[in-house]
């Protein structure tokens, strides 16, 4: 399956796990204090997700490989849309499935969706299909750390549809349906082959209760300044985790 990032044992003691509220503080400080905008963070997340998809699941060459990218309307979905653009540019046969029509997207995710439309990347709303297309890989970007209760409607349909296929699933930040603070896997939840979480891993992802949801856990750089973590809202001492790679495998 192409290049594998091996777990980096000597980093485990240096990794801090964040609650959902702490991750919200990271996002707030990035934008308000450091002026690193959401569109920059989203681009970093989507680029790294596409790279992991290419190296871990597509044998290092995505050309002509069918990939279904499942996208919600929030920041997690926006990262998935960036991933879809990157994989399309690299020659993959990308099909994007969204939880809402185009006018249900706002802000930066709407901007990312507009780019895909202008590029001619196939995009279909979940309400207009009976089942997900066959693919060599499913990218789960339906719900991130903003999950509130069990997925419903189109989100539940996409989760169940991805789980029903034999192809591997790569989740962005958290498997959809998993509470990133409590480690509760709601019904339904994505059973990911691998999860690529962002900045720092989320507390709920290391709970034994969600091991079958998370699969392999990777951590990706979205360019958070180390000094941000030392701020009063977090008070963490974080080393240069990504000195050697933009993506590191935790387990």
Q: pLDDT tens-digit profile of 182-206?
A: 999 999 999 999 999 999 999 999 9
CA distance 76 to 112: 12
Question: What is the rounded distance in angstroms from the CA atom of residue 167 to the CA atom of residue 135?
Answer: 7
Residue 31 maps to a domain: no
Give the CATH number for residue 50. 3.40.50.10260
Q: 202 Cβ partners below 8 Å, 6+ apart?
A: 17, 18, 19, 20, 23, 145, 173, 174, 180, 181
In a domain, 237, yes or no: no
Alpha-carbon span 41 to 200, nearest angstrom: 13
Is residue 150 in some structural domain?
yes
How many whole angstroms separate alpha carbon 130 and alpha carbon 7? 39
Q: What is the pLDDT of residue 14?
A: 72
Structural domain for 129, as ranges: 39-56+63-217
- Percent of the chain exceeding pLDDT 90 equals 90
- Answer whether residue 2 shows pLDDT above 90: no
Residue 1 confidence (pLDDT)? 41
Answer with the residue of higher pLDDT: 215 or 14.
215
Please state, in angstroms and rounded to a whole number, the distance separating the CA atoms of residues 160 and 109: 23
The answer to whether position 16 is within a domain reads: no
Return d(Cα 71, Cα 113) in angstroms, integer: 10
**Residue 26 belongs to a domain:** no
Confidence (pLDDT) at 245: 96
Per-residue pLDDT of 231-241, as tens digits, reads 988 999 998 99
Q: Is residue 229 part of a domain?
A: no
Residue 131 pLDDT > 80, yes or no? yes
Taking only the tens place, the pLDDT of each residue in 133-179 is 999 999 999 998 888 889 999 999 999 999 999 999 999 999 999 99
Cα 210 from Cα 125, distance rounded (Å) = 29
Residue 8's pLDDT band, with cuts at 50, 70 and 90, is low
- Is 235 exposed, middle or buried (CB count within 10 Å of its CB: 0-12, 13-18, 19+)? exposed
| Rounded alpha-carbon distances, angstroms, from residue 122 to 88, 133, 173, 212 | 10, 12, 24, 31
Q: What is the pTM of this model?
A: 0.94
Under the banding of pLDDT at 50, 70 and 90, the label for residue 6 is low
Q: How many domains does one find in the chain? A: 1
Residue 201 lies in a domain: yes
């Amino acid at each position: 399956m192409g290049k594998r990032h091996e777990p980096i044992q000597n980093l485990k003691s240096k990794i801090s796990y964040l609650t959902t509220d702490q991750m919200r503080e990271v996002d707030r400080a990035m934008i308000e204090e450091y002026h690193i905008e959401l569109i920059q963070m989203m681009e970093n997340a989507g680029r790294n997700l596409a790279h992991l998809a290419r190296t871990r699941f597509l044998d290092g060459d995505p050309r002509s490989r069918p990939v279904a990218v499942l996208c919600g309307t929030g920041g997690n979905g926006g990262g998935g849309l960036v991933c879809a653009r990157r994989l399309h540019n690299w020659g993959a046969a990308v099909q994007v499935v969204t939880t809402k029509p185009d006018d249900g997207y706002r802000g930066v995710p709407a901007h990312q969706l507009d780019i895909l439309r202008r590029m001619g990347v196939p995009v279909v709303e979940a309400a207009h299909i009976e089942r997900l297309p066959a693919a060599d890989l499913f990218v789960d970007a339906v719900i991130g750390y903003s999950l509130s209760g069990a997925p419903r409607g189109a989100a539940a349909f996409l989760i169940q549809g991805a789980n029903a296929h034999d192809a591997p699933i790569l989740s962005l930040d958290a498997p959809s349906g998993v509470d990133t603070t409590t480690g509760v896997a709601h019904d339904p939840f994505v059973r990911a082959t691998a999860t690529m979480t962002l900045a720092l891993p989320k507390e709920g992802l290391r709970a034994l209760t969600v091991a079958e949801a998370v699969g392999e856990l990777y951590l990706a750089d979205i360019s958070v300044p180390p000094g941000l973590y030392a701020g009063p809202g977090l008070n963490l001492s974080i080393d240069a985790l990504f000195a050697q790679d933009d993506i590191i495998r935790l387990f």
